[in-house]
Chains A and B, each alone.
Chain A
């Protein structure tokens, strides 16, 4: 892969950047979930690895969160964009060379960022914990080059129209750059107090709402029609979904600060908008489910569809929780508890990971023209991910409710810690299952690249039967 960094653009095989991004994403997923399992072990067994500050939970947690968001999720998005955007425009990626350099700078910057976080150099602002030089680096060397490559690919398309998936790609890239630069402005301009608090949560809310959620959904809009061969059920519902994400997901940031002394009208406004997040969710889930008509057997037989539809189904509890947990009636109880941790994992490890997983499975096989090495390993990956995530989500939701009760009824903190202990062990077991599944996945995709059966020209990988 590195030999192409200095090659002429026309000499670089199509899809090289996507393959580089795809494998990078899986490696970061393994690292991120490995760190997650380690951190969970520290909560389950307080005497596990003590005496060294670099392995303290406070150092390690931010590394886990950022490895997963900016390593796994965002690089899987980049991978999907680099092969789906040209596929939908019947053209090639604008610049494979830019894509390769983009991926290299991304890996270097992320490794650097995680190292400084690990060393304890942090802005201390959740989800935007990187210090400001790393933030600027990510904007200039990660998101802007990615956006340029995808936008130029869409601009140079050989079709008149633009398919729904590409609407989301081009808009999300625009929005994430704005979110990154404005959301980190407290660090650039030394803003403090309520302004800093608001902008921190404006960033955290929108990096989910205007980057992770829409791009994950965009992937499903491609994967399901592509693999099933069915037309997308409704172009019209696609419009409703797209514009409701832009309008309703960009506005409710204040609902993360319902107890802060923000203007009360802003909280009321944000709270209503928070429930209206259900509008794009309803549009998305209904459109994808109806597209599956007549092809539901593929939910069992096809690994990409199984991942996609599972992620899609998780959008239902995700948005039911997200819509209602921010209302005053519920927020006072669950705010600051493990419930929120469970919800965040439902969004990132449930909903979006399953959709991205499908994109990486499909994309790597398609670009490398290699059939998946082992269906058995892929099935194990799916079930370890699903069972591990479910154990994690359920245990942390229960732990959150216990913490909420403890908070409201002023139960001594140590009693709450003791009550939560079994759920912390369950959390560690769930997280570890996910990590093990990802190790298998990395092996499976590596073997696919090396020993997967070649897919004949003109055929799709899912049209061939599995061999193992």
Chain B
């Protein structure tokens, strides 16, 4: 059971332990079933690696979120501009609003949550009322024809109210990073305690 750190990526056992393991591996009859010592194929390793990356990238709350009221502030302000008010056709007016009101806003978010002129006419007074109250519009979401307080409930703020803005990163992801590192480290150590993958038992020849 001695450890050997000379070639940690090949084996973590000394030669005597490896030899004893090889002898046992070849002589042991497990109900006539035998096992090979193949390493995991490189494409499969890459697939596991890709899975870990994807696991983090796909689970951020950035995706699948409802649009916040702040996303449409530019549009609402643009609706009050004389050059927009002068346009009679809704489609043309909407194009002008998009041109004037999308500055400083995440274009992809607006693309994911498109609105029509009719939608804007309904949510405009609600957003303006919230702006007049001076609240943080990031804490409000647009659900159909309603602008409502976000249903996300985070930590309590200093003023006693509840955090309503969902962070894209939280301590759960940090825990995950350590958890994944511990897992792959331990499994690698476990596997490297086996005889090197260059050796194959003779039962299959």
Contacts and interface: CB of A to CB of B under 8 A. Distances in A.
Contacts of B135: none
B205 to A, nearest CB: 10
A282 B48 contact: yes
Interface string B130-173: 00000000000000100000001110000000000011001111
Interface in A198-252: 222, 225-226, 230-240, 243-244, 247-248, 251
A269 B58 contact: no
Contacts of A240: 40, 187, 191
B104 interface: no
A52 interface: no
A279 B48 contact: yes
B32 interface: yes
A231 to B, nearest CB: 4
Contacts of B34: 225, 231-232
A272 interface: yes
B194 to A, nearest CB: 6
B51 A272 contact: no
Interface of A is mostly: helix
Given A87-B31, A261-B153, A330 B176 contact: no
B176 A273 contact: yes
B190 interface: yes
Contacts of B30: 88-90, 159, 161, 163
A337 interface: no
Contacts of B58: 275, 324, 327, 329
Interface in B9-35: 24-25, 28-35
A236 B39 contact: yes
A266 interface: yes
A166 B2 CA distance: 26
Interface string B185-199: 011001100100100
Contacts, number: 165
A290 interface: yes
A161 B51 contact: no
A467 interface: no
A164 interface: yes
Contacts of A47: none
B17 to A, nearest CB: 14
Contacts of A90: 29-31
A240 B201 CA distance: 20
B115 interface: no
A275 B179 CA distance: 14
Contacts of B152: 264
A-B pairs with lowest CB-CB distance, top 9: A268-B172, A275-B55, A269-B172, A329-B64, A329-B63, A265-B172, A271-B59, A231-B34, A87-B31
Contacts of B39: 234, 236
A308 to B, nearest CB: 14
Interface in B36-52: 36-41, 44, 47-48, 51-52
Contacts of A160: 24, 28
Contacts of A237: 38, 40, 44
Contacts of B31: 84, 87-90, 163, 226
A321 interface: no
B180 interface: yes
28 contacts: A159-B29, A160-B28, A164-B35, A225-B34, A226-B32, A231-B35, A232-B33, A232-B36, A234-B40, A236-B40, A236-B191, A239-B190, A240-B187, A243-B186, A264-B152, A264-B154, A265-B175, A269-B175, A271-B59, A272-B56, A273-B176, A275-B54, A276-B51, A283-B40, A290-B38, A323-B55, A327-B58, A328-B59
A140 to B, nearest CB: 31
Contacts of A274: 55, 59
A327 B63 CA distance: 9
A123 interface: no
B3 interface: no
Given A236-B38, A272-B59, A282-B48, 18 more contacts: A84-B31, A88-B33, A164-B35, A232-B34, A232-B35, A232-B36, A234-B36, A237-B38, A238-B35, A247-B179, A268-B171, A269-B173, A272-B172, A283-B40, A283-B44, A327-B59, A327-B63, A328-B65
A301 interface: no
B13 to A, nearest CB: 14
A63 B203 CA distance: 49
A327 B36 CA distance: 37
A163 B33 contact: yes
Nearest to A328: B64
B64 A235 contact: no
A385 to B, nearest CB: 27
B172 to A, nearest CB: 3
Contacts of B201: 231
Given A159-B30, A160-B24, A163-B31, A328 B63 contact: yes
A332 B64 CA distance: 7
B37 A282 contact: no
